[in-house]
Each structure stands twice: as structure tokens, then as C-alpha cells.
Amino acid sequence: MIKRQVYPELDLVLHTVTGKLDENEFLDAAAALYDLDPVPLKSLWDLSGASLSQYNLDRLRDLQARTVGLVHGREGGRTAVVAPKDVDFGVSRQYVALIECAQLPFEHEAFRTVGEALAWLGLDAGCLDASAPSKERF
């Protein structure tokens, strides 16, 4: 399951994933990001409660190709992926490497903690507690 929270004052969308990450659900969530007006420049995918063990390199390549077709805008933006477990972090790093090959107009990076990801996004670790999301979708 993917829960989406939008924080307009932070220019951030937070996707919290639990259970096995389903490709179609991921693509739907990615497409929905670009339906927001305005599209947040900062995106954080929290995979702390997720499992990516079902992904191999071929599946990641297919997912990357399908994801790139959804992307428009977000020039200068950043997408952070948080995956604390070793296997999920490794898969996330592979995905980030593949997506970077597409030369999108924004950066991607994988992290082990939400705090590291927020810092890279230019946000304070306590900012999510201090802000209220404007929208919540599952």
C-alpha cells in the first residue's frame, strides 16, 4: 500500500510504502504526483515498511522505462528514497542508477534514514511533525 501526503508549504510529497511494492500501484502513485498543481519539487519515498526483494535488474529496468514516460516538469527537483534494510537499499540504489541514466530534470538519491533524506532535500528533520499535510490519499 502507498499512502501519499502532500505538504505544500514544504514543496514536498511523501509516499509511505508498506508491504511488497506493487509495480502498478507505484506507477499510479508516480502519475498522480504529476497531476498535482503545482507539482512539488521535493519527493520522498519512505520504504521503511516495504519489501523490494521481488525486484531483479530486469524488473527494475522495465519499471524505470515505464516511470520515465510519466515524468514531466519538476526541473531542479529532488526525489529521495529511504530504504533502511540492506536488500531494499541495494535495490533502491540500482533503481536510482537506472533512473539517472534517463537524464531527467531532477535528482534522485537513496538513503538509509528519513533524516538523511530530508537533509538532502533541504528540510529539517522535524519539519514533518511541525507541518500538516493538505491531502492524504491511499
| pLDDT tens digits for range 5-34 | 999 999 999 999 999 998 899 989 988 888
pLDDT 10s digits, 94-110? 989 988 888 888 899 99
Predicted local confidence at residue 137, as pLDDT: 46
For the chain, what is the radius of gyration of the CA atoms?
14
What is the residue whose three cell numbers read 499535510?
133
Q: Is the dihedral of CA 2, 44, 78, 65 positive or negative?
A: negative
Please list, in sequence order, all residues whose beta carbon lies within 8 angstroms of the beta carbon of residue 104, skipping any fewer than 6 positions away.
Answer: 68, 71, 74
Predicted local confidence at residue 138, as pLDDT: 35
Peptide bond into 38 cis (omega under 30): yes
Q: How confident is the model at residue 65 (pLDDT cuts 50, 70, 90)?
A: confident
Q: How confident is the model at residue 118 (pLDDT cuts 50, 70, 90)?
A: very high
pLDDT 10s digits, 127-137? 888 777 775 44
State the Cα–Cα distance between residues 8 and 119, nearest whole angstrom.
Answer: 18
Confirm if 42 and 78 have CB atoms less than 8 A apart. yes
Is the model more confident about 121 or about 67? 121
The x, y and z cell numbers of residue 27, run together, are 506507477
Whether residue 61 has pLDDT greater than 80: yes
